[in-house]
Structure 1
Amino acid sequence: MEKPLYTYQFTTAGLEEISRHFHMSELTLPFWGYRKKMPMYRIMRLEGEGNYTRFHFNDGSELVVSLTLKKMEARLPPLLFVRLHKKNIINLMYLNDVRYDNQQVTVVLANGDRVEVSRRKTNLVMKQIQDFQQEIRALSGMPLVATA
């Protein structure tokens, strides 16, 4: 029997608190000749596009930077950011659902984005989701809303 997936809808204060708990600083992103600092908790998903990475933020905005997804992955905390396959990394704070369909696992993010999980990475991704959820449940006093 599978363990239930608990999804959390975090308030902005909750996102900031989790960021402090996991020691998430701002990420400096190169953009058109200058650098832009962005709080990591605002990053919902990263999508690789060749030698570029498209950032999808929690406010719906996007930003393309001239670094590969592999380089960006090395700068992110592994307990919060999970690589689903060669083109996508998600922030587990925005995980809304995990769906199983004919041996294909798909995650659904808070903004409705659906991202498939590589078959080879499925076990690792599910372990990372469970570890993240255990860590969140261990935090007390968080402004969370849980649904099964």
Structure 2
Amino acid sequence: MLRALAVDDEKPLLEELLYLLRSDPRVSSAEGASDATEALRRITRALESGPDGPDGIDVVFLDIQMAGLTGLDIARLLSGFARPPLIVFVTAHEGFAVQAFDLKAVDYVLKPVRPERLAEAVRRARAQLGRPAPAPEPGTGAVPAVPPPSPAAVPAGPSAPPAPRRPAAEAGVAERAPDQIAVELGGVTRFVAIADIAYVEAQGDYARLHTDDGSHLVRIPLSTLEERWAARGFVRIHRRHLVALGRIDELRLDSGTTSVRVGSAELQVSRRHARELRDLLMRQATG
């Protein structure tokens, strides 16, 4: 079993990578680091613990372009140790492949990460560590979902780009019907009813849809959803939040600040949106 560390300074991408790694039965643990400093601190602790210690790391899934030190910088630092963890680069850029393999990288996976491509990187890491694939459970006859070995004896170059998608306003996001939005997680597409969404939270170029049952990440800016769903009663209350007007349970005024309660969540309302929100709620209350 592999112990993995995933490093990416874009939180939504880090969460997706961790989800895929934790879903792989060959990975016993997967932790995340959101910047180079945190990653080096975690790796240093692993090196001090030793390969069989409680903090050990077998493989680091490493983004390349990050603020401060890059993934290549981290790999160069690790190359000076006697028994560093293996490195798998996970990046949106093809141009660093030669440098990556010069640093003895196990694999080079291009974003957006496809589950089957990441599974192949896990297989290569296990093979380099000399660990066989897990045996099927007794009586089931099941064979673990492990991709077949690559015919090449050396690591392959960058993964092929994903198949072209049908045109859409944003990559990875589409509405199947007027009342639904498609969300993808780990290669699985679900269709969420827009009426079930209580509020939306901005996360960089992504947005997190909050429903009563949980949350879903989509690759689309909050401003686009604001424009698209205005007619459905969604209003902007803050640069980070878009709320379904009908899901607001309380409007709170406290010492000049405004907030709303949406279910169990309390969300701040910016000054520029406070007056408009109060007017909308009043009109809604009076019909």
TM tier, smaller = 0.5 to 0.7
Q: Is this contact kept in 1: 2:183–2:217, CA < 8 A?
A: no
Q: Does 1:132 align with 2:284?
A: yes
Match for residue 52 of structure 1?
206
Match for residue 42 of structure 1?
196
Which of structure 1's runs of 4+ aligned residues deviate more than 4 A?
A: 32-35
Alpha-carbon distance change, 120 to 77 in structure 1, aligned in 2, over 3 angstroms: closer
- Greater strand percent: which structure? 1
Whole-Å separation in 1 of the counterparts to 2:282 and 2:241: 19
Percent identity between matched residues is: 22
Whole-Å separation in 2 of the counterparts to 1:86 and 1:132: 23
Cα offset for 1:81?
A: 1.1
Whole-Å separation in 1 of the counterparts to 2:254 and 2:178: 36
Match for residue 5 of structure 1?
none
Secondary structure of the residue that 1:67 maps to in structure 2?
A: coil
Q: Is this contact kept in 2: 1:79–1:131, CA < 8 A?
A: no
Secondary structure of the residue that 2:216 maps to in structure 1?
A: strand
TM-score by length of 2: 0.35
Whole-Å separation in 2 of the counterparts to 1:67 and 1:41: 18
Cα offset for 1:120?
A: 1.1
Which structure has more RCO (C-alpha within 8 Å, separation ≥ 6)? 1
Match for residue 271 of structure 2?
119
RMSD: 2.1
Alpha-carbon distance change, 35 to 74 in structure 1, aligned in 2, over 3 angstroms: farther
TM-score by length of 1: 0.66
Match for residue 63 of structure 1?
216
Cα offset for 1:82?
A: 1.2
Unaligned runs of 5+ in 1: 1-23, 136-148
**Cα displacement string for residues 16-58 of structure 1 (whole angstroms, at most 9, x for unaligned residues):** xxxxxxxx94132342567543221100110001000000002
